Amino acid sequence: MSLHLGVNIDHVATLRQARYRTMLGAHNVEPSILQAALEAESAGAHSITIHLRADRRHIVDEDVYLLRREIGTMMNLEMGNTPEILGIALKVKPHFVCMVPENREEVTTEGGLDVLGQKEALRASVSQLEANGTRVSMFIDPDLDQVRASAEIGASMIELHTGTFANELGEKRSHEAARLKAAAELGHSLGLQINAGHGLTTQNLAELFIVPHLSELNIGHSIVARSVFAGLRAAIQEMLEAMKGYTHA
């Protein structure tokens, strides 16, 4: 099975919100979140990832409903474990949900979710979502106790946080890659699907490829940044080309 790519289009919404946050109903609102998703699909993306944050800083409720209705591929909804967002997820029924930590002050998600410390609250949400037809992933650091906790609460998947790996170089990056490898091996042995994401680029992917059992990479910022110069379709196709080097699925 080839390695799949989930394209996160949050930063397309960030650009839209920079001008149109208070006037989303205007006729000239751009860029279009739907157009970005359809372009990503056309370029070969296997899923579309969006994060509905509590503060609605980029993706808003209307985007979630629109994309669920209009896109042809899978929707991956990133979300904090709050009653409000959980209610939306249960109504929308995305194909996948990825539970993430959420801090209002952060620019982007800064680390993995503490599944071990929130097992019972997360277990209840996972149970509701999975019973509703949505497969659930935990966005976690490559910590073996967090991997075990994710399996124990009934999640179908984990998404390994690759931010530390991406931010380091040399021996420190190799050390983080080894941690990711160990987490992936344990997760696979526990029956979890192994995904990964955060900070991944066409330049650092090759060093990640020692990690076995990867099913899907979720990548957003690098693709949207590259699209400024190459266009969204070309940026996605460049990433897919770089991913062809992975042989451990």
pLDDT at 2: 86
Cβ contacts of residue 44 below 8 Å, gap of 6+? 5, 236, 237, 240
pLDDT at 111: 77
Cβ contacts of residue 25 below 8 Å, gap of 6+? none
Confidence of residue 108 (pLDDT cuts 50, 70, 90): low
pTM: 0.93
79-107 per-position pLDDT tens digit: 999 999 999 999 999 999 999 998 655 55
Indicate the domain borders of the chain: 4-243
pLDDT at 134: 98
pLDDT at 110: 64
Kindly list the catalytic residues.
51, 78, 198
Q: Give which of 28, 30, 27, 37 is closest to 14, Cα–Cα.
A: 30
Yes or no: domain 4-243 corresponds to CATH 2.60.40.60: no
Residue 3 DSSP label: P
Confidence of residue 146 (pLDDT cuts 50, 70, 90): very high
Token look-up 């029956």 returns: 191
**Cα–Cα dist 92/66, whole Å:** 10
- DSSP-derived 3-state class of residue 197: strand
Tell me the average pLDDT across 8-35. 87
Instruction: Give me the sign of the Cα torsion angle 109, 111, 115, 117.
Output: negative
